[in-house]
Amino acid sequence: MDKQEWKQFLRWLDDANERELAQVKRRLRSTQAAVTEAGVRSDLRRMLRLIDEEVLIRQNLAMRSKARR
């Protein structure tokens, strides 16, 4: 992916809701099995890792928010 595509993905990552994150993660995982090009596989792994990180960050923030109440 080029720089512009990564910027778009990161913007989407910030704006996506939990359901959208899960849907895209499922699609990326199913696509990953069919991809043989090393660069594309690397991009897919990075996208999956970033989605996982985003989910964990959101869960952590939600837990902290509940703890403060």
The domain ranges of the chain are 42-69
pLDDT tens string 3-47 = 999 999 999 999 999 999 999 999 999 999 899 999 999 999 999
Q: What is the pTM of this model?
A: 0.90
pLDDT tens string 48-67 = 999 999 999 999 998 988 88
Longest dimension (CA), the chain: 49
Residues in the chain: 69
| Whole-angstrom distance, CA of residue 69 vs CA of residue 8 | 35
